[in-house]
Amino acid sequence: QQQVKQSPQSLIVQKGGISIINCAYENTAFDYFPWYQQFPGKGPALLIAIRPDVSEKKEGRFTISFNKSAKQFSLHIMDSQPGDSATYFCAASRRYGGSQGNLIFGKGTKLSVKP
Amino acid sequence: NAGVTQTPKFQVLKTGQSMTLQCAQDMNHNSMYWYRQDPGMGLRLIYYSASEGTTDKGEVPNGYNVSRLNKREFSLRLESAAPSQTSVYFCASSEAFGHGGYTFGSGTRLTVV
């Protein structure tokens, strides 16, 4: 119940295309869903996050879509650029979870955007 | 704005040696975490400190110990390094436990031979 399953493991997109990364979770108590971006040799950095009271959140070219009934959320990168090439992690946690309140990460998606 | 600072950046150890990875944050965050990252395994939580004075085991704590020295500093110790501990280690901090943005350090690449 604590897992967050992320797909695909790797993704190749042409410049200008749309990159889509999907995540699924089991624990219905999760109420915070962030995405992290990691460049080679760097630590992950928070990219965008959503709470389950909204179905979509957009920041620039990055959009999170959230489907509460399906227990799925996804990251869409519009007009993908070579500079977006990185590893992306989805994650989930629940407020007031006590010892179970840790942020649970997916295994990551390596995105390559070809010029 | 230093954020989360980890030292050292690189380290090579012989099997059986011990070492301590240091982590410090300057954002007045309450919670701190240690993760390891291995190819295909994502980020796995080793230990965490939800608040100053507390520490708890994460998903993969065996072979490690931690100390929350004060609110700023959280160290990770390998008492007797093993080749299976070859990994990239990340320290992170957050204002609230499990919530809000985690700020990660730039990592320590550890090789155990």
Q: Please answer yes or no on whether B102 and A103 come within 8 Å at the CB atom.
A: yes
Determine the average pLDDT of the residues in A88-97.
83
Report pLDDT digits (tens) over B75-97. Answer: 999 999 999 999 999 999 998 88
- The pLDDT confidence band at residue B39, using thresholds 50, 70 and 90, is confident
Task: Name the residue among B45, B90, B105 with its Cβ closest to that of A102.
Answer: B45
Determine the average pLDDT of the residues in B98-105.
84
Rounded to a whole number of angstroms, the distance from the CA of B62 to the nearest CA of chain A is: 18
Report pLDDT digits (tens) over A52-74. Answer: 889 999 999 999 999 999 999 99
Task: Name the residue among B50, B98, B106 with its Cβ closest to that of A43.
Answer: B106
Determine the average pLDDT of the residues in B9-32.
96
Q: What is the pLDDT of residue B74?
A: 98
Q: What is the pLDDT of residue A100?
A: 58
Distances (CA, A) of A45 to A10, A22, A71, A78, A99: 19, 18, 24, 19, 24
Looking at residue A8, what DSSP letter applies?
Answer: -
Report pLDDT digits (tens) over A8-35. Answer: 999 999 999 999 999 999 988 888 899 9
CA distance B51 to A65: 32
Q: Does A98 score more than 80 pLDDT?
A: no
Please give the structure tokens belonging to residue B20: 């301590």
Q: Does B72 score more than 90 pLDDT?
A: yes
Determine the average pLDDT of the residues in A65-84.
96
- DSSP track, A34-45: EEEEE-TTS--E
- The pLDDT confidence band at residue A83, using thresholds 50, 70 and 90, is very high
Q: How far is CA A50 from its chain centroid?
A: 10
Report the run of H or E that residue A74 belongs to, with start and end.
Answer: strand A72-77
Q: Does B100 score more than 80 pLDDT?
A: no
Sequence-distant (6+) residues with CB within 8 A of B84 are: B63, B112
Residues of A in contact with B40 (CB under 8 A): 9, 107
CA distance A87 to A21: 11
Range with the poorest average pLDDT among A37-51, A87-101, B78-92: A87-101
Q: Please answer yes or no on whether A43 and B99 come within 8 Å at the CB atom.
A: no
Q: What is the pLDDT of residue A93?
A: 87
Report pLDDT digits (tens) over B45-65. Answer: 999 999 999 999 998 999 999
Q: Closest Cα to residue A6, out of A96, A99, A109, A110?
A: A109
Q: Does A112 score more than 60 pLDDT?
A: yes
Q: What are phi and psi of A9, to 5 degrees?
A: -70, -35
Q: Please answer yes or no on whether A44 and B41 come within 8 Å at the CB atom.
A: no
Residue with tokens 């291995």: B38
